[in-house]
Copies of this chain bind each other. A is one copy, B any other.
Amino acid sequence: MKEIRVFSPATVANVNCGFDVLGFALDGLGDEMVIRKVPEKGIKITKITGAELPYKAKENVVGVAGLAMVEALNLDFGFEIEIHKNIRLGSGVGSSAASAAGIVYGINQFLETPLSNLELTAFGMKGEAVASGNEHADNVAPCLYGGFTLITGYEPLRIVSLPVPEELYVTIIHPHITIKTKEAREILPEQVSLKNAIKQTGNLAGLIAGLYEADYGLIASSTQDVLVEPYRKNLIPDFDFYKQTALKNGGLAFGISGSGPSMFTLSKGLQNAGAVEFALKKALKEKNMKSESYVSPVSKHGNRILEQK
């Protein structure tokens, strides 16, 4: 094998009550990368489309994650990379994680003894850190594992792959506003009430059980974020209006995707997800907010090979 073309999906991190620990992968929306094995060691980025990003490997998420992997494995060959971005930078659906996960997934296909998803996640996090300032796995993990992933610890890194109910669909709406990750962090309080903390543990526990039971009612009643959303929603004008619109039009659960500005809605069935998209587009238009939207099943597979030569 000389060359491989991989798909790297967009991902939703946090998932409302799963702040900092839960994420899931989308189907359909994602980046593509071409990874070519070459005799020269290291990582060389030869082409970037869809976004303006640095070509220097050490300054690029793809390069940093890829270099971390090839250097740790001490490979005696290297890679040329083409990056084709479809996920908008800063939209809140894991653009940098798709880059980071895509390259480590791609390189892994060229290894005689492939690494586990857990090991790949650790390398992917190195790339993610270039974009976000700290190593975190809540987008990289679902990108690699597919489906829902739960991070239960970082030292050591522990990831649990959760089941995906058959009919779970997601609607993403991306309003054209900018939220800086730093700002989204700073708006959070340092202290919260014990009462709300306990409530949130029960909510996330209910969501996890809902995924295992494919109990859409339980997913709907549990996906309530009492800790983070009350603060972060202030960064998105008319958030409550959009939330009510989504939930009134068949959505089970609504929340900010990652640190925003994209918002996700979970629905049972494609028809509901489509109805939510239609209603939300109308709602955003009403508020004179430009936006893009996507409807997708929750992907069970994450990264995948599109073509190989």
Contacts and interface: CB of A to CB of B under 8 A. Distances in A.
Contacts of A51: none
A193 interface: yes
Contacts of A207: 205
A39 to B, nearest CB: 42
Contact of A191 (B188, B194, B201, B227): B194
A248 interface: no
A213 B162 CA distance: 10
A203 B158 CA distance: 11
A205 B204 contact: yes
Contact of A197 (B160, B209, B227): B227
A221 interface: yes
A193 to B, nearest CB: 6
B206 A152 contact: yes
A77 interface: no
A110 to B, nearest CB: 31
B19 A198 contact: yes
A307 interface: no
A205 B22 contact: yes
Contacts of A221: 152-153, 158
Q: What copy number does this chain have within its complex?
A: 2
B206 A160 contact: yes
Nearest to A153: B221
A17 interface: yes
A209 B206 contact: no
Nearest to A148: B209
B194 A192 contact: yes
A21 B205 contact: yes
Given A153-B221, A158-B221, A221-B153, A194 B205 contact: no
A151 interface: yes
Contacts of A202: 20-21, 150-153, 204
Contacts of A195: 190
Interface string A182-225: 00000011111111111011111111110011000010011000
Contact of A160 (B22, B200, B209): B209
A209 B21 contact: no
Contacts of A222: 152
A15 B168 CA distance: 31
A202 B162 CA distance: 13
A78 interface: no
A18 interface: yes
Contacts of A206: 150, 152-153, 158, 160
20 contacts: A17-B201, A22-B205, A150-B202, A151-B202, A152-B202, A152-B203, A152-B205, A152-B209, A160-B206, A160-B218, A189-B194, A192-B192, A197-B200, A201-B203, A202-B204, A204-B205, A205-B207, A208-B209, A208-B212, A212-B212
